[in-house]
Amino acid sequence: MHATNPPAYSLVSHPLCPYVQRAAIALTEKGVAFERRYVDLADKPAWFVAISPLGKVPLLIVQGEQQPVSVVFESAVICEYLEDADVGPALHPRDPLDRARHRSWIEFASSILSELWHFETAADADRYELKRRALTDKFARVEAELGHGPYFAGERFSLVDAAFAPIFRYFDVFDALADTRVFADTPRVRAWRTALSERRSVQASVTPDYGERLRAFLARHDAYLLRV
């Protein structure tokens, strides 16, 4: 028997995309080597348009030995593919009900990202406060779900952690601009946020200039966050 080489992976990315970060964290946690290919979503190159049915990132380009190149799109699908491929440590629970619960909270993380978009681009005080309260309410639900940590499911890092880490990273920038008070009444969420920020995979999932890029994004949208 001849040993087969593992597939080669390329993660098509944008520097600010939280869904890209999810996939990058999962790849790193599983010990999968991959290259990053960045695209400008405001000026999408033809090669990207040709392989991205939704015109979004992330994409995972998979080149197997003596197999055609395959493209996997959507962060949740990329993460599930990595689980199904049985590479590295499992990031989902084995029990079907626990796994379904984790997937549910990953969806909840996506709903938070939707609120975050409106929060960070709010151009006036009323809209800002409306979305700040919406985020506070969502994290109150998360607080009620958390145990003693340090991660969502205790000692073991999971795909739920990979989904929430990019959310907390936004607030690393926001906190330097304003006292949002989003986590004021959620001590377990605060501890979880700290634990995730110290994880190597989380730190490596963005470029060193992430903060500058996010502040520039806020300036382009005339965000109220810059004037609080």
My answer on whether 62 and 118 are in the same domain is no
Query: Which H helix or E strand runs over 38?
Result: strand 34-38
Structural domain including 38 reads 8-84
Q: Residue 3 has what pLDDT?
A: 46
Q: Which of 197, 85, 208, 184 is nearest to 150 (CA)?
A: 197
- Work out the angle between the directed axes of helices 75-84 and 18-29 (0-180°, nearest 10): 10
Q: Residue 65 has what pLDDT?
A: 75
* Total domains present in the chain: 2
CATH number at 62 reads: 3.40.30.10
* Single-letter code of the amino acid located at 57: V
My answer on whether 15 and 45 are in the same domain is yes
Q: Residue 2 has what pLDDT?
A: 44
Q: Which of 41, 59, 84 is the last residue of a domain?
A: 84
Q: Which of 184, 181, 180 is nearest to 225 (CA)?
A: 180
- Work out the angle between the directed axes of helices 125-145 and 187-197 (0-180°, nearest 10): 90
Place of tokens 């730190």: 203
- Whether the CA torsion 130, 127, 171, 117 is positive or negative: it is positive
Q: Residue 4 has what pLDDT?
A: 61
Q: Which of 84, 110, 127 is the last residue of a domain?
A: 84
My answer on whether 116 and 222 are in the same domain is yes
pLDDT tens-digit readout, 56-86: 999 999 998 777 899 999 999 999 999 999 8
* pLDDT < 70: residue spans in the chain: 1-4
Q: Residue 115 has what pLDDT?
A: 97
User: For residues 142 and 28, what is the distance between their CA atoms, to the nearest angstrom?
Assistant: 25
Asked if residue 54 belongs to a domain, the reply is yes
Q: Residue 68 has what pLDDT?
A: 85
- Work out the angle between the directed axes of helices 159-174 and 18-29 (0-180°, nearest 10): 130
Residue 206 corresponds to which tokens in the numbers above?
Answer: 């963005």
Strand partners, 72: 60
Assessment of whether the complete model's pTM goes beyond 0.85 = yes
Asked if residue 91 belongs to a domain, the reply is no
My answer on whether 127 and 187 are in the same domain is yes
